[in-house]
Structures are given as structure tokens and as C-alpha cells.
Chains A and B, each alone.
Chain A
Amino acid sequence: MKKILIFISLLLFSMPVYANTNTCKRTKEDLHIPEKVNYQESMYSSIISTPCIDATEKIYDFANLFTEEEEIKIYNLIIDYINDSNLDLAVVTINTNPKSSTMEYVDDFYDYNEFKYDGSIFIIDMKNREFYISTSGKALEYYSDYRIEMTLSSMDKTMMNHKYYDSVEILVNKLKSYYLSGKPENGYLYEGEFNPYQENKTKISMKQAIISSIIVALVSSSIYILVLCLRNKQVKKVYNSKLYLNKKATVITKKNERYLNSNTTKTYSPISHDSGGSSHSSGSSFHSGSSGISHGGGGHHF
């Protein structure tokens, strides 16, 4: 009885793996851990529940969202991207998620398979109705929170309309163009929550510091000197006698107000729906996956 249960559960666990892909089996003896991971005992359960796949296939359509031709097209897009950027890229789709979150699944999927240390992975999680991009290594630096957010937003429409192939096409193109525009200026990494709109507070260049100090010093000393100069002109003719007014003796003998007219004007002033200038963050937030490797990225629901 027990053996049957174990066999069925193993089958269920390995189900997500079966999708026209070459897979390997993880066993206690050989977990197929890639070199980039520093194995710890605590990782065992995460590793064993992560599908073991061939990292060269790049597209793992477990949820069967793509047709054969689409898969081939996606594969070619990805290979192009990898050749241009030297960053790895993979696309995964799943119907069931054995892990606690989409993020956890995709982090582990990337870490515990032979993908390059520097790279990204995109997942469409049909169970949690979430699509997510996870980055690692150099890709973390290239794809700041803001860039990730922009990429996800550009896919919102196609994902809503279940146009999954189109979404992936948009994704790969976006990742490519962001890569080509270089690392974000004044980029920085910080451990924390994904926040594409955070104010870039901390970095100013030395030149900017000097220039702003000069301007502030110039303005304030000019004002100071102006005030001192004006102070030197004390003599003023007085045109009132307010010092000599005996306020207590004031007697009001007549006091009335009468209505004259009234008019109303109307002006057209529509409320603007601008989102207001958002200061772009060049920061990339990261968190540590179970493997200990830092991952960046973010996701949207659909």
C-alpha cells in the first residue's frame, strides 16, 4: 500500500516535468546540483521538488500554452537573445505549482538546473495566475525594478487576452532592448521588496555636489549682503499718522452694507489624468532563493 502511494506521489511530482522535454531524475544519491550552488542539507527538500531538465532547451511548456511552431519561434528568439547578451534566458509554463509561490518555483527552477549564473527566467503560472520574471547574477544589474515593471506592464494586455506567444515575444524584445541600452545609470542593488517607483535618493556625483554647493553659497551670500546694504538706508518719509491715532476714541457713527450685483463665470478645466512624473528608480531589489543565490525580478497577475 505504502509503495503504491509513494509511486503515485512520485508520479505526481514528476508530472510537471513531462512536457516534451528531456528530463532527468533527482535521487538522494544524485541530486543533479549545478556547480553554481553551494549545497546545504536544508536545501534538500527544495531541490528534490524542482524538476530536473535540460538547460539547453530554454522553453519548458508544461502547461501546453504554445503550439509546436510557437515553441520553435520562441526558442529562436531566446537563442538570439543569449548570443547578443551573453545572459541566459528560459521560459517556463506550469499548470500546478508544488511550491509555495511562483517566485519560489521559478527561483529554484533556475538555480537547480544548469542555467548560467547570469541570466533570467520567465514563468507563466496558470495555477496562481501569475507571470513572473526572475533575474540572477549580471541580469540582476541590467534589469532594475523599474525595467522589470515596464516589461511586465507591456505584457499585461496580451496576457489578459491569453495571447501567450505574443507576451513572450514582447518579453524577449524588451529584455534585449534594455540590455542594449546598457546598465541603468547610477544603478544599485538593495536587499528588499520590489519597488519600481522608489525615489533614487542616495547617489549624486562629486561634480554635482560642488556645483550645487556653489550655487547655494552664491545665492545665500548675495541675499545676506543685499540685506546688509538695505539696512544702511534707514531714512524714510512717513505718509501716515498711525502712531498718533487714538484708537480708543474712534466712534463709528454710520455702518451699512448694501447689495450691488452678483455674477458667475464658468471655466473649462478638465482634471488631468497624468500619472505625474515618476522618478525612475535605477535600483534592483533582490532576495535570496533557497539556494542562497540572490534573485531579482517581479511579477504581475492576470
Chain B
Amino acid sequence: MDKTVIDSKCPSCDANLKFDPKSQKWICEYCGNKYELKDLEQNTKKYNKKEAKEEKKTQEKVKLNIYRCSNCGAEIVCDENTTATFCVYCKNTAVIKERLVGSFEPSLIIPFQKTNKDAIAAFKKIGRRHPLMPKEFSSEKNISEIRGIYIPFWLFSVVSSGGIEANCTKVRTWRSGDYLYTNTTTYIATREGNITITRVPNDGSVKFDDAIMNSIEPFDYSKLVPFNYSYLSGFLAEKYDVDEKRAQENAKKRMSETIKKELLSTIHGYSTVTIRKDYIDYGNMESEYVLLPVYMLNIKYKDKIYTFAYNGESGKMIGNMPIDKKRAVLFFLLAFIIVFIIVFALLYYVKVR
């Protein structure tokens, strides 16, 4: 069992390897060689034996959240949940393999499909679609802070047996002389069925805002591969701190809404339908603990922090942007003048006719 910070090393020149999202392979920065996962697995086995001696020294330090960088020997301080971080001195990324063991070892991972450059390009693009965003927002200084992180998620799948009872009405109106007649007939509709929901994601990390994680959904699950810590090199990563039970409760809330709606959609031909009773049995819920790739960017503007998330698989970018008051006024005036001229010209033409 390894308790040291370990990087994937190049089998040829022993330099640090970084995972390249474009090619989905590992590239050595020095000799330029590309490697696939199977090449690395052989290499890391050899390396582990070497580092066994270092075990005792680092054991205590693990608990204090201090690690020794394997490249330059500096001590890295990190969050207790961080499983991959980078050394502030030599910019080397380090995977804290020790934290990825046992129940904390993810079963699956979607490796980054988008590169850092893609994220930066996407961020610059939003400036165009949102003219009211202040210009300084997409400045180079802010953009350079973008970080690729593997965020822990719980995925829940279920074949639920659920049922609803609804009050449905049929309304008819007709007129006879000076009187309007309205007839309302009420029925009770029952629907029961088996509704299948697969892999609802639930953010497994407390420190990442659930709303932001919701907004960058969905991830393409066909890109999931069996986990290997090598994928983490070059990126940051976290292990989960939201336990499975709690995540499951959140997932159930999302599921119940969809199950009810699905059953409701089978009721047709009524003027109004209102659910008055529902019962759902989730049965055996399947759960998977996975790592999903996200680029995060925090920008401080006028004493407020704005968080942007870029889905590292789909490329969807989400964030709340501040509104530059001056720009808003400018655009308002511009729109006002243009519309005024057009409308006035039209009216004038009609009037003078």
C-alpha cells in the first residue's frame, strides 16, 4: 500500500506524464512519447517497490494534510479530501493515491475530453453572447486561473414501482337562452407502473455548489471507463465527503418528481388533472461512485466571487455573470434610439400620406 504522492512517470525518461484529453493518452513533456494505460500499469508496479522505504516517513504527515512533492521534495499542504493536487513550487501535479483506496476508490471515471485551451476558448466565447458582462471579466489574468478537477459524484439507478391517484375533471359548457350551463364530471384515475431511471448524478463534494453541478449536466456516460489513478495526472481531484445515504436522499427527491410526471403523462382527455396521492417504492437502488471531469474558474469582481464550471466531457459552460451597469445603460440607449427612429419614421409616413 502506497502512502506517498505519486505521479505517473514516463517509462523512457522518467519525467512526469500528463493525461492529454485530446488524444486520451499520456504524453511525456520531455521526450514527447505517448503512452496508453496498459503501458503505464507495468511501469507503476516497478516504481512502487522503490518508494516502499519512504512509507514510514510520510505516514504521520498524511494525517496532517501535508505531503512531500515527489519531484522537488517540497511540502504540499492540501485539503483533507484532495486526492490530486499540484505543487506550488514546481507546478508538478501529484496524485495522492493513498486517499483513493477502499471505499474511496471510484469505480469509474470519465477522463477529460476537453483540454484547458477548450475551456479558455469557451469562456472567451460567453463574452460575445452576453454583452452586458463587464469587459474585465474575460481578462487574461482571470482566465489563467482555470483548473481542471475530477469531481466525485454518486450515480443512482433504479427500477421503481410507483403509483399515483389523481382527480380528473371533464368540463362541458353550453348556452341556453340567457343562461350559461357548466357541467363538471370528476373521475379518479389510478396509474401504477415500473419506471426506470438510470444514473442520476449527485454531487459528492460539499464544497462544490450543487446548483452549478446540476447546471452542467448531463455527462455522456458512454465515456465512463474503469478507474485508474493515472488519469488524474495533470489535474486536480477530490474524494467524496457527502456520504452515500445523504446523496441517495437527494437523488430520490429528483426521481420522485420524474416518476410522478411519467405516470401522469399516461392520463389523457381531461380538462384538469391533480395528483392527490402518490406512493413510490425504490427497491434496490444501484449506486456508483465515479469521478467526472469539470473545469472550474472563480472570478472575483467587486467583492463577489463568480464561479464558472465547464463540463470537461460535453463542453457545456455555465456560470452567473455580473451585469456591468454602464454597459446596460449604453445598450438601453442604443436600443431606444434605434427603435424610436424606426417607429417614428413609420408613423410619419402613414400620417403624411
Q: What's the nearest-Cβ distance from chain B to residue A27, in Å?
A: 50
With a cutoff of 8 Å between Cβ atoms, the chain B residues found around residue A203 in the complex are 351
Question: Is B194 a contact of A253 with CB atoms below 8 Å?
Answer: yes
Q: Could you say which of A43-51, A74-82, A242-250 contacts chain B?
A: A242-250
CB–CB B214/A237 < 8 A: yes
B64-72, B88-96, B256-264: which lies at the interface: B256-264
- Please tell me which stretch of B17-25, B235-243, B296-304, B318-326 contacts chain A, meaning at least 4 of its Cβ atoms lie within 8 angstroms of it: B318-326
One digit per residue, 1 when the CB lies within 8 angstroms of any chain B CB and 0 when it does not, for chain A 197-233 equals 0000011111001101110111011101100110111
Let me know if A258 is at the binding interface, CB within 8 A: yes
When the two chains form their complex, are residues B255 and A251 in contact, meaning their CB atoms are under 8 A apart?
A: no
Would A252 and B215 count as touching, CB distance under 8 A? no
Binds B, one of A97-105, A126-134, A140-148, A265-273: A265-273
CB of A240 within 8 Å of the partner chain: yes
Query: Are B132 and A268 touching (Cβ within 8 A)?
Result: no
A114 to B341, CA, bound (A): 55
Q: Which residue, A222, A247, A251, A269, has most C-beta atoms of chain B within 10 A?
A: A251
**B167, B181, B197, B322, most chain A CB atoms within 10 A:** B197
Residues of A within 8 A of B161 (CB): 253
Please tell me if the beta carbons of A225 and B328 are within 8 angstroms of each other in the complex. Answer: yes
Q: Is the CB of B351 within 8 A of A254?
A: no
Interface string of B194-220 (1 = CB under 8 A from A): 111111100000000111101101100
Count of chain B residues near A, Cβ 8 A: 74
| A residues less than 8 Å from B183 (CB atoms) | 262-264
Q: Quick check: B215 and A268 within 8 Å, CB to CB?
A: no
What is the bound-complex CA distance between A210 and B184, given in angstroms? 52
> A228 to B131, Cβ gap below 8 A?
yes
Instruction: Give the chain B neighbours of A225 by CB distance below 8 A.
Output: 132, 328, 331-332, 335
Q: How far is the CB of B176 from chain A (nearest CB, A)?
A: 9
B291 at the interface (CB under 8 A from A): no
Are B197 and A245 closer than 8 Å at their CB atoms?
yes
A267, B254: Cβ atoms under 8 Å?
Answer: no
Residue B31, interface by CB 8 Å? no
Is B193 an interface residue, CB under 8 A from the partner?
Answer: yes
A234–B200 contact, CB under 8 A?
Answer: no
Enumerate chain B residues within 8 angstroms of A240, measured Cβ to Cβ.
254, 257-258, 261
Interface residues of A (CB under 8 A from B): 202-206, 209-210, 212-214, 216-218, 220-222, 224-225, 228-229, 231-247, 249-271
Q: Known pairs A220-B339, A235-B319; list 8 more (Cβ under 8 Å).
A: A213-B340, A231-B129, A232-B130, A235-B318, A249-B194, A257-B190, A263-B183, A269-B179
